[in-house]
Amino acid sequence: MSPEAVTLSASAPLTHLSEDEQLFRSSVRDFSRETIGPLVRPMDEEQHFSPDLLPQLFQLGLMGIEIPAEYGGAGGSFFEAVLAVEEISAVDPSVGVLVDVQNTLCINALLRWGTEDQKQRYLSRMAADTVGAYALSEAGSGSDAFALQARAEKRSGEYVLNGQKLWITNAREAGLFIVFATLDPSLGYKGITAFLVEKEFPGFTVGKKEDKLGIRASSTCELILEDCRVPESNLLGEPGKGYKIAIETLNEGRIGIGAQMLGLAQGAWHHAAKYAQERQQFGKPIAEFQAVQFALAEMATEIEATRLLVYNAARLKDAKLDYVREAAMAKYFASQVAERVASQAVEIYGGYGFVKDYPVEKYYRDAKIGKIYEGTSNMQLATIGKLVLGGTKR
């Protein structure tokens, strides 16, 4: 394999995208490289999302891709949201996850479960300037997502929420939170209910930001609910149906995380391939050595397999076909590939890959979360196993 061949294989295939999708993808790619790129290292070192970046994400329509035009959104597809997350994450997965949670979790939940009044009030804001966050996890409620301790009590035309949420992505930037709490613990998962909570509601506080291994610019904070008063009109869906909202929304969200990990892997590969053509050893670029060629070839093959899994799941979702198995497969496989590719990219860089002056060590740190959030790898395998084995029954 020549260095020229490596360069050609670096560009993602576009043959399965429509012309509009290709144009959209190109515009997001250009924005990511030109605008987000220079901010990646300082945001990571400072563990702070650049406030100047958020307005640009809104202005480009990237924070309201699926929001219908009547609410001020772009009126795009879920697949386009996946393309945006992929391209942004190829430059910085921290920005990618902010866009992902906004589009695949929060906006999708409102589109499916919100009343017309709620859509009028919140979708227009989310298209213009309001970041969303999804508050399900608690200290004792991770993979066992419905072991919630947060309580909700109905009192004279409003709900009062008490409890604590942990590991909430976008918490520092968000103005709207989808918060899950239980109305009656004795009912188990059937007591769980979802609420639309504004940051300014009395009794609501964003707590400390976690000091993380990776995606450090992305805010991950605790939420504190102390007699937090929520109007009855901000009940999302029906009382006791929060578990259904959580399950169905997270199925969509897993495709988004698959896209984030896909973009991460593509970004790490791009840097590794470029470096392999520039780094000279024994009088020639290391890309001319078969061992390096084979490593890059294996990485590229796994990335392409990941892309097809993620795109297929997103297309199924847009077509309103069953996609739960495919979403779990995409999320599981993408997180595995992202970690392997990022690790191999570090090795191709050698000693330079281990220092922060070069980009690949950040991809390696960022990749680890893919196996953990929005359903661990073991939870994805459990889902896949049940569905594929169930399909063999006669």
Same domain, residue pair 253 and 382: yes
Query: Is the pLDDT assigned to residue 173 strictly greater than 80?
Result: yes
Which CATH number belongs to the domain containing residue 181 in this structure? 2.40.110.10
CA dist 153 to 178, 182, 227, 236, 306, Å?
A: 17, 8, 9, 15, 44
Same domain, residue pair 314 and 191: no
Same domain, residue pair 123 and 204: no
Q: What is the mean pLDDT of the chain?
A: 94
Pairing of strands 131-135, 220-231: unpaired
Structural domain harbouring 81: 13-130
Query: Is the pLDDT assigned to residue 286 strictly greater than 50?
Result: yes
Q: What is the mean pLDDT of residues 375-392?
A: 92
The pLDDT confidence band at residue 11, using thresholds 50, 70 and 90, is very low
Domain boundary among 90, 109, 130: 130
pTM for the whole thing? 0.94
Same domain, residue pair 41 and 145: no
Query: Is the pLDDT assigned to residue 2 strictly greater than 70?
Result: no
Beta bridge partners of residue 165, listed in sequence order? 223
Same domain, residue pair 53 and 153: no
How far is CA 68 from its chain centroid? Answer: 21
Domain boundary among 242, 261, 285: 242
Catalytic amino acids? 374
For the chain, give me the number of helices (H) and strands (E)?
Answer: 14, 10
Same domain, residue pair 373 and 248: yes
Secondary structure (DSSP) of 160-203: EEEEEEEEEETTTTEEEEEEEEES-GGGGGGGEEEEEEETTSTT
Sequence-separated contacts (24+) of 276-280 with Cβ below 8 Å: 276/3, 276/6, 276/348, 277/3, 277/6, 277/7, 279/350
pLDDT of residue 144: 86
Domain membership of residue 2 (yes or no) is no
